[in-house]
């Protein structure tokens, strides 16, 4: 018969198992509940963004002036517009679903663009050195010294606005951090013995950096991506709030907040829904970024 020790919850047959409490503590330490909730929220937003056409009950630009400023269902409204309607009778939930799609599209595209441009310039500066490195460092110092919001306002005011231009402009945000990090790590990695051995074997610079140095510094760059992603969301929201971001008929989270501020006393649900999504999304990505930093950075283990 199997004997169980209630004090340790171990099975007394054969090799002793780990205490159940110790296994749970290790599992919680590796996968904290807050991080799991953050991952679940990001997965949910991605599902909503991909399946927006199937999830939204109405078209995001469909107006119904007879139902304008209808409250949410939990505040006395109707379930056909369970998050209420805006000043033009547009369904808030439908607009929220499509806003998540547009905001995530901008954030993902801009983050990847900034990471690729910055990492490439950093690796080239580490390899070429000399004049090219000095030029890259000057660009980094200029970008870091000039507030990006001012640059964005100037570009959008003079060149107008379109979604591709807006994504390209957001992609320039934060590239200097990737360039500085990749340059420093690449120089440090190039001085290691394995890099010298690979060069002596006749490997080309593309192979040295692409197959050996870049994988060794990828963990730091990935963590930086997770930290830059919420900044892009907040920057897009701020510019859209000022009317210089996503332009009608398209909608985004910041665009919804910008229009909802005029009705914050009369119909606060127009603003609160997208604002809550912005807060939860940025918080979730920040939690995931901190968790990845703790797991991928060997100096913090």
Q: How many domains does the chain have?
A: 1
What mean pLDDT value characterizes the chain? 81
- Domain with 207, as residue range(s), is 100-245+283-300
- Would you say residue 11 has pLDDT above 50? no
Is residue 27, in this structure, part of any structural domain at all? no
pLDDT band at 39 (very low <50, low <70, confident <90, very high): very high
Q: Which of 25-39, 138-152, 195-209, 275-289 shows the highest mean pLDDT?
A: 275-289
- Would you say residue 26 has pLDDT above 70? no
Short-list 276, 241, 246, 247, CA closest to 259: 241
The mean pLDDT value for 85-103 works out to: 89
Q: Give 2's DSSP letter.
A: -
pLDDT band at 2 (very low <50, low <70, confident <90, very high): very low
Is residue 217, in this structure, part of any structural domain at all? yes
Token representation of residue 66: 């007879």
HSE of 219 in the Cβ direction (CA atoms, 13 Å)?
A: 12
The mean pLDDT value for 149-177 works out to: 83
Is residue 170, in this structure, part of any structural domain at all? yes
Lowest-confidence range among 57-61, 79-83, 198-202, 251-255? 198-202
Contact by Cβ (8 Å): 91, 76? no
- Would you say residue 12 has pLDDT above 50? no
- What is the distance between the alpha carbons of residues 125 and 133, in angstroms, rounded to a whole number? 4
- What is the distance between the alpha carbons of residues 167 and 151, in angstroms, rounded to a whole number? 14
Short-list 215, 164, 166, 163, CA closest to 194: 215
pLDDT higher for 52 or 202?
A: 52
User: In this predicted structure, what is the pLDDT of residue 23?
Assistant: 65
pTM (predicted TM-score): 0.78
CATH (domain of 153): 1.10.3720.10
What tens digit of pLDDT does each residue of 233-271 get?
A: 888 888 887 777 788 788 888 888 888 888 888 888 888
Percent of the chain that is helix, strand, coil (3-state, to 5): 75, 0, 25
- Would you say residue 44 has pLDDT above 90? yes
Is residue 205, in this structure, part of any structural domain at all? yes
- What is the distance between the alpha carbons of residues 121 and 115, in angstroms, rounded to a whole number? 10
Whether the ω angle into residue 249 lies within 30 degrees of 0, i.e. cis, is yes
pLDDT band at 173 (very low <50, low <70, confident <90, very high): confident
User: In this predicted structure, what is the pLDDT of residue 280?
Assistant: 92
User: In this predicted structure, what is the pLDDT of residue 231?
Assistant: 85
The mean pLDDT value for 26-54 works out to: 85
Is residue 163, in this structure, part of any structural domain at all? yes
Distance of CA 106 to the CA centre of its chain: 10
Q: Among residues of the chain, what percentage have pLDDT more than 70? A: 85
The mean pLDDT value for 157-172 works out to: 83
User: In this predicted structure, what is the pLDDT of residue 43?
Assistant: 93
User: In this predicted structure, what is the pLDDT of residue 150?
Assistant: 82
The mean pLDDT value for 282-295 works out to: 84
pLDDT band at 45 (very low <50, low <70, confident <90, very high): very high
Is residue 79, in this structure, part of any structural domain at all? no
Is residue 64, in this structure, part of any structural domain at all? no
Is residue 225, in this structure, part of any structural domain at all? yes
User: In this predicted structure, what is the pLDDT of residue 21?
Assistant: 66
- Would you say residue 126 has pLDDT above 90? no
């Amino acid at each position: 018969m199997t004997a169980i020790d209630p004090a340790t919850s171990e099975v007394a047959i054969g090799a002793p198992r780990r205490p159940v409490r110790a296994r749970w503590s290790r599992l919680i330490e590796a996968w904290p509940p807050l991080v799991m909730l953050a991952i679940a929220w990001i997965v949910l937003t991605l599902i909503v963004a991909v399946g927006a056409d199937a999830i939204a009950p109405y078209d995001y630009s469909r107006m119904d002036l007879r139902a304008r400023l209808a409250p949410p269902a939990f505040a006395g409204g109707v379930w056909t517009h369970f998050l209420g309607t805006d000043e033009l009778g547009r369904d808030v939930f439908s607009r929220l679903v499509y806003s998540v799609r547009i905001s995530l599209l901008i954030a993902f595209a801009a983050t990847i663009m900034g990471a690729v441009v910055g990492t490439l310039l950093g690796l080239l500066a580490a390899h070429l050195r000399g004049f090219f490195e000095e030029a890259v460092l000057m660009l980094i110092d200029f970008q870091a010294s000039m507030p990006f919001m001012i640059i964005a306002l100037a570009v959008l005011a003079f060149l107008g606005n379109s979604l591709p231009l807006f994504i390209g402009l957001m992609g320039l945000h934060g590239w200097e951090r990737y360039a500085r990090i990749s340059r420093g790590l690449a120089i440090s990695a190039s001085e290691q013995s394995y890099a010298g051995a690979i060069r002596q074997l006749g490997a080309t610079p593309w192979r040295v950096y692409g197959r050996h140095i870049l994988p060794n510094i990828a963990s730091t760059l990935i963590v930086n991506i997770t930290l830059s992603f919420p900044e892009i969301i907040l920057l897009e929201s701020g510019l859209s709030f000022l009317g210089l971001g996503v332009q009608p008929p398209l909608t985004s989270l910041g665009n919804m907040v910008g229009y909802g501020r005029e009705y914050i006393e009369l119909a606060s649900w127009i603003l609160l829904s997208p604002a809550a999504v912005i807060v939860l999304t940025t918080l979730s990505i920040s939690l995931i970024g901190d968790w990845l930093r703790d797991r991928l950075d060997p100096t913090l283990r």
